[in-house]
Amino acid sequence: MNFLKQMPSIHIHPVLYAFIAISFVTGTFLELFIIFFLVLFHELGHFTAASMFKWRIRNIVLWVFGGVVDTEEHGNKSIKEEAIVTLAGPFQHLIIFFLCLFLELFQFIPASILELVLYYNTMLLFFNLIPVWPLDGGKLLLLITSAFLPYKKSYHFTILFSMITIVSVVLIQLLFFPFTLSSFLIWIFLFMENRTDWKQRFYVFMRFLLRRYEGDSAIKKVVPVTVASESTFMDVFSKFRREKKHPVYIIYPNNERISIDENDCLRSYFYDKSYHHTVGETFQYK
């Protein structure tokens, strides 16, 4: 009962309605129903894992061959925790595999339907592991790169890599494989999602910084960063990494330096609104 009380609202993306209409025209409604069930089961895996870690969940959005558990966490949780939540979705497909084997053993469901379930379950599993944002493979790519790169750079890399991959796949499909409208629409949809996220990359980064400013970030290691006194606050913030606490060393033209806590930089930017000042001007050497 507590699990049901925690369930967020479930929304259907408009693109799914288009595929429902296509399924009626092409007579593939059963296939779409199976995919819809598998996608919902997949997203419930993410939701269950996120709930275990007490993430703040707004809603679940379903679209063809995937969905999104919309949370209020923005790169502030540990990489390990996010990896568990991300992998909880694909793990659900393994449960489906074993469930199908059980049902086949006792012949509870016609073999033809089980074959469809197994086919689409396999497709969904491998499709979601493609390293394209916002699929689970894309989220894992972001987690891996953010373990070695600053968060801003890793996010930009993930979105750009995803768009290049999508364009490459579409070109390969058009040149070497028979054209299928459903596959083409899915890749176009993913490209548009990445294009939207690229346009909103500044706001994504701001949410990441705000979580750090509020003290709501997992910290495992202290790693200093060094910047020139003429650097802007954004130059400093672009060096911030997940799970790292950053003492900031400001180097002045006379090679003197001072050490500032990252919270001082965040406070100057968000509270004092030092948007147009350099870090050297804000924290003057004495």
Give the residue numbers marked as catalytic: 43
The residue type of 285 is Y
Token couple for 33: 């129903």
Q: Is 214 exposed, middle or buried (0-12, 13-18, 19+ CB in 10 A)?
A: exposed
- Between CA 136 and CA 55 the distance in angstroms is 18
- Between CA 152 and CA 100 the distance in angstroms is 42
Under a CB-based contact definition with an 8 Å cutoff, are residues 104 and 114 in contact?
yes
Under a CB-based contact definition with an 8 Å cutoff, are residues 226 and 249 in contact?
yes
Those residues with Cβ within 8 angstroms of residue 258's Cβ, 6 or more apart along the chain or in another chain:
249, 250, 252, 283, 285
The residue type of 84 is I
64: nearest Cα among 138, 140, 142, 123: 123
- Between CA 134 and CA 231 the distance in angstroms is 33
Under a CB-based contact definition with an 8 Å cutoff, are residues 46 and 85 in contact?
yes
- Between CA 167 and CA 72 the distance in angstroms is 30
